[in-house]
Amino acid sequence: MKSRENLVRLKQFQVNEKRKQLAQLDMMIAEFDRMATELELQIASEEKKAGITDENHFAYPTFAKAARQRRDNLRNSQNDLRMQREAANAALEEAEAELARAEMLESRGRDTDAGASARSAMIG
């Protein structure tokens, strides 16, 4: 009986850890989005100041080029994080299913133990 309770606790811990991972991924995705948006505003400001929006123009602001590259890198990282989030979400669903099975097993075990105790009390 004790091992079943330990299994349930282990599965609950695993589910909680998966949920924390998802929350962290969500926060990182949101932070990257905020940073990319900030960079887009800086790019627009630099282009407006220079009066040049063509990246290939020889006088295009260097800061705007660098900011574009950083923004693109952030967007790529965001996409990678979204894929990681999908995998983490699938792992969470699997962990929740394992927890449900462990809880069911533990519940059945308690019922079986209670039934055996009742029978032995009737016999004794």
User: Hey, what are 38's tokens?
Assistant: 């900030």
DSSP state of 76: H
Judge contact between 31 and 48, C-beta under 8 A: no
User: Hey, what are 68's tokens?
Assistant: 């574009």
pLDDT surpassing 60 at residue 119: no
Q: Would you tell me how many other CB atoms lie within 10 Å of the CB of residue 113?
A: 12
* Lowest-pLDDT range of 4-13, 33-42, 69-78: 4-13
pLDDT surpassing 90 at residue 1: no
Does the model's pTM come out above 0.85?
Answer: no
- Mean pLDDT, the chain, rounded, equals 91
- Supply the pLDDT for residue 77: 98
- Across the range 60-78, mean pLDDT stands at 97
Q: What whole-number distance in Å separates Cα of residue 81 and Cα of residue 78? A: 5
- Supply the pLDDT for residue 27: 98
DSSP state of 57: S
Q: What whole-number distance in Å separates Cα of residue 9 and Cα of residue 110? A: 15
Q: What stretch of H or E contains 54?
A: none
- At 15-58, the pLDDT tens digits run 999 999 999 999 999 999 999 999 999 999 999 999 999 999 99
DSSP state of 58: T
pLDDT surpassing 80 at residue 123: no
Q: What whole-number distance in Å separates Cα of residue 30 and Cα of residue 91? A: 21
